[in-house]
A and B are shown apart, each in its own frame.
Chain A
Amino acid sequence: MKNEFQVIADLIEKDKKVLDVGCADGTLMKFLKDNKNINIRGLEISKEKVQECIAKGLTVIEGNAEKDLKQFPDKSFDYVVLSQTLQAFLNPELVLDELLRVGKKAIVTIPNFGYWKVRFHLLFKGTMPITKTLPDEWYNTQNLHMCTIKDFFHFIKSKDIKIFKSLALNNLNKSTINQSNLGVKNLFADLGIFLIEK
């Protein structure tokens, strides 16, 4: 399981009710179910991935977060997880609002467009960056609204969203992001992980 999922799992206490939005093949869901006795549900748009989840014995709903989150009642989950998908929605702000409505807390991770490798790629090669967390070409990427850790940090502050924890991840190194080290983390982390609440 990738390090990002381990960090997410560490943020969630045992026996909670969790919704994994864009749960893909259910790797994180399965880990949470087996290791933390989490009452876990998934929402996934890909039919193939939904089948993989079913084969793992996971409860998953085939659907699109932009349309299908609205069916869940307010604060019906302890945590709602969204891993590296926010930038792929037509309207990320609306999805973020929905995550915070449905979940008492939300865990959102974003691939950092401010990461130094991304900046170097664009600066020296002059082409759209391709990195481990941004593996696709500009013409076939799912990503519509790339942002940096700094962008996201300012964005949630401006929306009066409470930040419980903000973590910078670079390979296996995990560190805390705060107002004073934001510039540095924005340069050296390829992933930001935010535990938030509204």
Chain B
Amino acid sequence: MNTEKNIKTLIVKKPLKLDCGKTIKDFPIAYETYGSLNSKKDNAILVFHALTGDQFVTGINPVTNKEGWWSYAVGPDKAIDTNKYFVICSNVIGGCMGSYGPSHKDPDQKIFGTNFPVITINDMVNAQYNLLDHFGIDKLFSITGGSMGGMQVLQFISNFPDKSKTVIPIATTSSHSAQNIAFNELGRQAITADSNWKDGNYTSNDTNPGKGLAVARMAAHITYLSKKGLQEKFGRKLQEREDLKFGFDADFQIESYLRYQGSVFVDRFDANSYLYITRAMDYFDLAKQFNGNLSEAFINTNAKFFIISFTSDWLYPTQENKDIVIALNSIGADVGFVEIESDKGHDSFLLDVPNFLSALKNFLDKSYEEN
């Protein structure tokens, strides 16, 4: 699945004990960087990707030949200005863009499949922490990410309270809700119901559960958009036809759009990785790690937080982001919060939403000036 020549990899020699109890070592973390690290090494920003993202944040992704997932926000003169900051992003473990995951081989040279250990958000950030040593960075200037990226941001600063000056969780939650778990389970069931899935052992031959994975993607994609956004973009418009065809082809543009989203997704994503990463999200409950008191997760950090949510995001709604703000305020932490007006749903953080991008830029640049 990977064209390995374009992927930079750090081999982590140090053993990492996973939440499931297993220990991994000598495992790869695939990463990419943008901009350059200054001599004081105080301009680094660690970006965490969401469920289906990867290390190729901006510019052309050399594997898919498409724009990076956060091209609107990251690049020269953009909100996260790579003329100024050194941006690092790595593929999460469990992923399929070069980091250790279910499509890798086990010590017996057999592809892991579902024998890969179940990983958590905690495991992901503990693995990525090795990048700081790799680059000789004592303290990051910022950590940021949206959605599952935001969960990693929260877990990272909880695990390593003095390792970042600023912390920007975006459109996220400190605990996956029943509705979040339900949608993820729908996706997993679609994959495992595909007869090509073969209990996860599909990689040993040429077939793969593409149909199941496409359905998972289609269902998830709906949760990333708002009802209003969908209605305005598609409404009941028909797909290249004058009238209904009284059949089950894609009569409506929205059907055709979702089918397309599903089909392009299977070309770049591994079905088993989808199972593993959604599971990690479902297991995420930061408060539970601190006996139900979320504030305790942040008690040891002096970092400056800036939390951003979007009005039309119903997957990780404003209230769930505000719960993080409340937990931080209750311990007197330095926290700012803004809810951005947008019709673009959860996906707003990935799109050209000017008020979001200017808030992000202003927060980063002003905080950096105070450095």
Chain A residues near B (Cβ < 8 Å)? 41, 47, 50-51, 54-63, 71-73, 76
Among residues of A, the one whose C-beta sits closest to the C-beta of B329 is: A71
Q: Is the CB of B329 within 8 A of A54?
A: no
Q: Is the CB of A56 within 8 A of B366?
A: yes
Q: Is the CB of A60 within 8 A of B336?
A: yes
Q: Is the CB of B330 within 8 A of A61?
A: no
The 9 listed contacts between A and B (C-beta, < 8 Å) are A47-B340, A51-B338, A51-B355, A57-B362, A61-B329, A63-B322, A63-B337, A71-B325, A73-B329
- Which residues of chain A come closer than 8 Å to B341, judged between CB atoms? 47
Q: Is the CB of B338 within 8 A of A57?
A: no
If the complex has contacts A62-B337, A62-B338, are A57 and B367 also in contact, measured as CB distance less than 8 A? yes
- Which residues of chain B come closer than 8 Å to A60, judged between CB atoms? 336-338
Q: Is the CB of B358 within 8 A of A51?
A: yes
Q: Is the CB of A47 within 8 A of B338?
A: yes
B353 contacts the other chain (CB 8 A):
no
CA distance A57 to B369 in the complex (A): 9
Q: Is the CB of A71 within 8 A of B330?
A: yes
A52 to chain B, nearest CB (A): 10
- Which residues of chain A come closer than 8 Å to B339, judged between CB atoms? 47, 62
CA distance A11 to B330 in the complex (A): 26
B336-371 at interface with A (beta carbon < 8 Å): 336-341, 355, 358-359, 362-363, 366-367, 369-370
- Which residues of chain B come closer than 8 Å to A71, judged between CB atoms? 325-326, 329-330
Among residues of A, the one whose C-beta sits closest to the C-beta of B304 is: A59
Q: Is the CB of B362 within 8 A of A55?
A: yes
Among residues of B, the one whose C-beta sits closest to the C-beta of A42 is: B336
- The one of A47, A59, A72, A76 that contacts B336, using a Cβ cutoff of 8 Å: A59
B291-332 at interface with A (beta carbon < 8 Å): 304, 306, 322, 325-326, 329-332
- Which residues of chain B come closer than 8 Å to A58, judged between CB atoms? 336
